[in-house]
Structure 1
Amino acid sequence: MAGSTFQTNPFDLHKLLEDCHRGILQLPDFQRSWVWDEDRIKSLIASISRTFPVGALMTLDLGGNVNFKPRPVEGAPPEAKNVAPFSLLLDGQQRMTSLYQVTLRGKVVETVTPKNKKVKRWFYIDIRKALDATVDREEAIVGVPEDRVIRSDFGREIVLGLSAPEGEYKELMYPVAKVFDWDSWQDGFDKTWRGDAQEAIREIFRVFKRQVLENFKYYRVPVISLDRSTSKEAVCVVFEKVNTGGKPLDAFELVTAMYAAEGHELRRDWYGDDEHKGRHRRFVDTLRPADSEAGIIAEVSNTDFLQAISLFYTRERRREAERAGKTGKELPAVIGNRQALLNLPLGAYKHYERQVEHGFVQAAKFLHMLHVYRIFDLPYQSQIVPLAAILADIGEAWEHEANRAKLVRWYWNGVFGELYGSAVESRIARDFMEVPPWLQGGPEPSTVSETIFRSDRLKTMRMRLSAAYKGVNALLMKEGAQDFRTGQKFDHTVFFGENVDIHHIFPQDWCKRLGIKPTIYDSIINKTPLSFRTNRIIGGVVPSEYLAKLEKGDNQTPPIEREKLDAYLRSHLIDPAILRSDNFEAFMTDRQKRLLGLIEKATGKTAYKGEVPEKGIDVGIDEESRESEMIITS
């Protein structure tokens, strides 16, 4: 019978903290280190002292499907590491660690100031202020230095001395480290303030005990307990929902904790250490230009890498099922989603990791071949995963001309079909399964067969973040576009050495003066790759003027023959005669046709030129263009 896999019960705070101390309640090893600052700790103490709610905790009972490597809360005694925990704290680490350190551990607390300076603090409750209804309770919580002395005048004057219990008694400052064990402290307090004349002082403490200290003793925390039948995916979803206060948890962290339970350090594989360059660093350095911080695959994430491995693992499981005679829906799916990552065995990871890493390195070479050099110019980060997996699968076969041509065609169909923008997990898996057989004469992969590029799409490509926009830029360079000034083609060396970027052909300033809207002049039709210096020469003048300037030359740039300059323009799919006539409308019409032909050649498919408009309203205009349009309109 189906039922809930969790229950919610209140637990005594003191009992929970004791469980942390003894190691019965621990943290999963992927939990971040304790980072709460001094002010947040004070606020937490104040809330407990007034029995205000501080939020529920969430725990996971061990012994089921999820096997994470545990670690004690920070500050727990060494022997806690030797205890097999009953449950792990999934949500509430910061609160529980803070409360454990300040109330039960009995040692100075290492924390940070709001300005992120490391400090050591003991925490006290000012008894008089805590009982004063006109004083905010947080003002009654005091943090003092490690020597328990607060000084002023650059350390020359002692403002508050609590280094001995007698100082605490005298100043009526109660140590938070004693909130669960006040008997011995009260004995010392009563001795200090003994005698009938001091009865009023002793009564102050008795009231404080009833109104404040007993709130700690009887405080109960709601705990959502996930039982041992909870799935790995459910745990991952839980973290995504509840862990909103800091770095989001992803599948890599969960897999790291599961592999750690088997003795493997997945985090070391990825991030490395002092003696070992991790996979992430190797990806950052792959084809990295000398003057750049990162190469083209630097942003491949750890989950991207695991996703590629999971494609191989789930495909092998499917093949095993086929060999066992299973068919149709009996066959397991080839997938690379979160569930697949969480179910990836350590053995499978070790089996495929080198092969997949090589695939990503080959993907970097493939992208450079297409003149995609910078992460900023990469059409789709997500398409690197199937590309790397396919290259890892087919090995050196991608270097054969026929195979390479098909791979290039598949890649551009993904870009200009704009198929890798969202919800890509199923497409990644399909491409991994469909592209290799296609290279051997099989049917077209769905990414190729499903791509439709509309001829009017070129007019709406204005955003630098658009994959198709970036694709046109790369195609122009791949087809041999030459810089207007130098005549150099944009290979790897020229691209970085000359600071090449995409620039307007009819300059923005000129378009603005004529009242042409940004929605028109910012189109990719009016843009092309040029070096920084060439774009500076173009400036904001009409094309006929900057072309004449290039032909004439100056003391830094030699003159360019008209025929040569026309050849440079043609390499950008620009009709020289139309550009020299400064006819913007004719230029846009002509170049749109030429760029469309370029895309059709790359995808191997005829663009749609029908009358049925694309659904939706185009909002692809960046803020700079939007502001310009408002100025022109006004």
Structure 2
Amino acid sequence: MEEIQRFQNEVLNRIQSYAMPVIKLSKDNSREAVCTVFEKVNVGGKKLDAFELVTAIYAAAGFDLREDWAGTQRKHGRLGRLREKVPSKGVFADLASTDFLQACTVLHTRELRLQAAANGATGKDVPAITCTREALLGLPLAAYQKHADAVEAGFIEVAKFLNEQKILWGRDVPYPPQMVSLAATFALLPSHLRNAAVMDKLAQWYWAGVLGEFYGSATETKIARDVPDLLAWLEGGPVPRTVGDTSFQARRLDTLRSRLSAAYKGFHALLMRSGCRDFITGKGVETMTVYADALDIHHIFPRAWCEKEGIPPQRYNSIINKTALSKGTNIAIGGNAPSVYLARIEEKHGLSPDALDDILRSHLIEPATLRTDDFEGFWKTRKVALAELAAGAQGKSVPFSEDDEPMEGYADDDGLTLDEEDVFEEVA
């Protein structure tokens, strides 16, 4: 009995009185709060996001959202159908399930807003267009089923649009959230607005956002604001705030050194869109040919040469000293002075100086500065040319002064610019 009593006191009583941590949820808790709890508690397994919770909500109504999005082994879901439209690692490589749900939510909340206004609601009684996580979690199954096909078609149009802008790979998409705005806009775009003039306006809006580095934060707010603003503008209304409130400063060119920077990616695409041709092959950037012979961003004055000449990385790694070249051309350039590699290209590939000069001009390069290895002259003339390229893309002038100091507040990491070129230059 003594042993039994001791077992009761030391074991059973401890078990019975153990305080178990509990998170108690009631029907009054918002879906956003429930999602937050799942994300915090589920630390040992797969990270849960809003898509997982919406999947669970829809499952209660007998609808498999995961299968609708990701498909099965036998058939594609929406993501698979979208990726069929582009090459592997194309613009949909990193498309998230929540991106798709955000576009559906914009369409649903816009519909609610229009209905409320039609019923006479005013002021705060008119619901806002939104795609916050809370609104996404509240997206009814019926609304998802109503808008999903239009959103899927909208994303297909987004891929076509980005390819026309020479944004071909997932890694080169400056701002994925801008794709959500575009997809929702295309889903709502009436047939009479599907013309060249409208595409030009969409391109102006797109490049204003990219070069103005506008979608770097508060993306949910900007998506919800841009979709109605864009639709109104395309119907003849006022210019969207994304176009009116953003501007590119020429000084920013000095500090664009990171492969991850939206504006850096933007200039890479704009150079290809403007018709730059490969130094050796002379080929332009056509959607079909670039997939077979991909271009990437490489130095014009090679890194190895710049280091020998004492030019700091902050300068030679800038987008001013970068352009779109094929892998083979980059290998041929090696780490030599421009005057050396240009002469070698002419001799080996039978290009005349005039023909090669025309190719260099397609990259907004003044040929004389390369042929004389004049880095400073090259820098000044190309900076002006790139500023003019930005001005044309965003439809407004770019403030420029030769006395401008580089913009403060940007710390693009030079280490992020390392690419194949750095390896080739060292062995050349």
TM superposition shift of 1:229? 1.1
Note if 1:243 corresponds to 2:42.
yes
Cα displacement (A) at 1:237: 2.5
- 2:209 maps to 414
2:118 is matched with which residue: 323, 329, 349? 323
Q: Partners in 1 of 2:25 and 2:56 — Cα distance?
A: 18
Task: Give the corresponding residue for 2:354.
Answer: 563
Aligned equivalents of 1:425, 1:330: Cα separation in 2: 21
In the other structure, the counterpart of 2:426 is: none
Aligned to 1:349: 144
| SS at structure 1 position matched to 2:177 | coil
| Structure 1 counterpart of 2:268, one-letter code | N
**Distance across 2 between alignment mates of 1:609 and 1:502:** 25
CA contact (8 A) 1:285 1:298 kept: no
Q: 2:292 aligns with which of 497, 502, 517?
A: 497
1:403 alignment counterpart: 198
8 Å Cα contact 1:415-1:468 kept in structure 2 = yes
What is the 5 A alignment of 1:514-529?
514-529=309-324
State the partner residue of 1:296: 91
Q: d(CA) in 1 for partners of 2:297 and 2:407?
A: 29
DSSP 3-state at the match of 2:21:
strand
Q: Is structure 2 residue 395 aligned with structure 1 residue 604?
A: yes
What does 1:538-577 correspond to in 2, within 5 Å? Answer: 538-553=333-348, 558-577=349-368
Greater fraction helix? 2
1:21-46 deviation line (CA, Å, top 9, x unaligned): xxxxxxxxxxxxxxxxxxxxxxxxxx
Tell me, yes or no, if the aligned pair for 1:283 and 1:295 is still in contact at 8 Å: no
Contact 1:391–1:398, Cα closer than 8 Å, also in 2: no
Cα deviation, residue 422, structure 1: 1.4
Deviation at 1:492, TM superposition (A): 2.1
- 2:257 touches 2:417 (CA, 8 Å); kept in 1? no
1:69 counterpart residue number:
none
Instruction: State how far apart, in whole Å, the 2-side matches of 1:377 and 1:563 are.
Output: 32
Q: In 2 relative to 1, CA 300–343 (structure 1 residues): closer, same or farther, beyond 3 Å?
A: same
Q: Is the contact made by 1:543 and 1:579 (CA closer than 8 Å) also made in structure 2?
A: yes
What code does the residue aligned with 1:605 have? K
1:503/1:446 CA distance change after superposition, 3 Å:
same
Q: Measure the CA separation in 2 of the matches of 1:538 and 1:400.
A: 42
Q: What is the CA distance between 1:622 and its match in structure 2?
A: 3.0
- Alpha-carbon distance in 2 for matches of 1:286, 1:445: 30
Cα distance between partner residues in 1 of 2:408 and 2:42:
35
Alpha carbons 1:509, 1:541 under 8 Å: kept: yes
Asked whether the 8 Å contact 2:259–2:416 carries over to 1, the reply is no
The answer on whether the counterparts of 2:210 and 2:263 sit within 8 Å (CA) in structure 1 is yes
Q: Secondary structure at the match of 2:200?
A: helix
Distance 1:617 1:394 in 2: 38
1:260 aligns with one of 50, 56, 59: 59
More strand per residue: 1
8 Å contact from structure 1 (residues 519, 625) kept in 2: no
Shift, 1:220, TM fit: 3.3
Distance 1:510 1:398, change over 3 A: farther
**Counterpart Cα distance in 2 of 1:248 and 1:286:** 29
Q: Any idea what the Cα deviations from partners look like across 1:246-265, whole Å, max 9, x if unmatched? A: 43321111111111111111
Tell me: CA distance 1:612–1:324, structure 2 relative to 1, closer, same or farther (3 Å): farther
Deviation at 1:235, TM superposition (A): 1.3
Greater C-alpha radius of gyration: 1
Q: Specify which of 215, 221, 226 is matched with residue 25 of structure 2.
A: 226
Letter in 1 for 2:76: K
Aligned to 2:132: 337
* TM-score, with structure 1 as normaliser: 0.63
Q: Is the alpha carbon distance of 1:591 and 1:398 closer, same or farther for their aligned partners in structure 2, counting shifts above 3 Å?
A: farther
Kindly provide the amino acid, as one letter, of the partner of residue 619 in structure 1.
A
For 1:559-608, what per-residue CA distance to the aligned partner results, in whole angstroms no more than 9, with x for missing partners?
11111100000000001111111110110000000011011001001113
Q: CA deviation at 1:445?
A: 0.6
Aligned equivalents of 1:435, 1:492: Cα separation in 2? 27
1:358 maps to amino acid: A
- Measured after TM superposition, the shift of residue 499 of structure 1 is 2.9
Q: 1:488-517: per-residue Cα shift (whole Å, max 9, x none)? A: 001123322223111000000000111111
Residues 518 and 625 of structure 1 are in contact (CA less than 8 Å); yes or no, is this contact kept in structure 2? Answer: no
1:382 match: secondary structure: helix
**Pairs aligned (count):** 418
State which of 620, 629, 633 in structure 1 corresponds to 2:412. Answer: 620
Aligned 8 A contact 2:251 2:407 in 1: no
Task: State the alpha-carbon separation in 2 of the partners of residues 477 and 386 from structure 1.
Answer: 24
* Of 70, 83, 86, the match for 1:284: 83
Per-residue displacement from partner, 1:512-555 (whole Å, max 9, x unpaired)?
Answer: 111111110000000000010101110001000000001101xx
How far, CA to CA, are the matches of 2:315 and 2:329 in structure 1? 23
Alpha-carbon offset, residue 286 of structure 1: 2.2
Identical positions, percent: 46
Q: List alignment gaps of at least 5 residues for structure 2.
A: 423-428
Q: Deviations over 1:470-492 (max 9, x none)?
A: 11110111111000001000112
Of 363, 370, 375, the residue aligned with 1:584 is 375
Q: Which amino acid aligns with 1:273?
A: T
Look up the equivalent residue of 2:339 and give its one-letter code: S
1-structure distance, mates of 2:258, 2:221: 26
1:295 & 1:566 partners in 2: Cα distance?
32
Contact 1:397 1:403 in 2 (8 A): no
Q: CA deviation at 1:428?
A: 0.5
Query: What CA distance in whole angstroms lies between the structure 2 residues aligned with 1:364 and 1:264?
Result: 28
Cα gap change, 1:396 to 1:369, in 2 (>3 Å) = farther
The aligned amino acid for 1:536 is: I
* Partner secondary structure for residue 530 of structure 1: strand
* Cα distance in structure 2, aligned partners of 1:354 and 1:614: 47
Paired residue type of 2:20: V
Any idea what SS the aligned residue of 1:481 has? coil
What's the CA shift for 1:273? 1.8
Say which structure, 1 or 2, has more relative contact order (CA 8 Å, 6+ apart).
2
CA distance in 1, matches of 2:167, 2:409: 30
Q: Which amino acid aligns with 2:307?
A: K
What CA distance in whole angstroms lies between the structure 1 residues aligned with 2:149 and 2:136? 17
- Is the contact between residue 252 and residue 407 of structure 2 (CA under 8 Å) also seen in structure 1? no
Where do 5+ consecutive residues of structure 1 fail to align?
1-201, 629-634
Question: Within 2, Cα distance between the matches of 1:471 and 1:549?
Answer: 31
For residues 625 and 339 of structure 1, do their structure 2 counterparts lie closer, same or farther at Cα, with a shift above 3 Å needed? closer
Q: Residues 625, 407 of structure 1: CA spacing in aligned structure 2 closer, same or farther, 3 A cutoff?
A: closer
Query: How has the CA–CA distance of structure 1 residues 550 and 612 changed in structure 2, closer, same or farther, with 3 Å as cutoff?
Result: closer
Kindly provide the CA deviation profile for residues 57-76 of structure 1, in whole angstroms up to 9, marking residues without a partner as x: xxxxxxxxxxxxxxxxxxxx
Q: Which one-letter code corresponds to 1:249 in the other structure?
A: L
Selected match of 2:188 from 393, 398, 407: 393
Per the TM alignment, residue 616 of structure 1 is displaced from its structure 2 partner at its CA by: 4.5
Shift of residue 399 of structure 1? 4.1
Could you tell which deviates more after superposition, 352-361 or 392-401?
A: 392-401
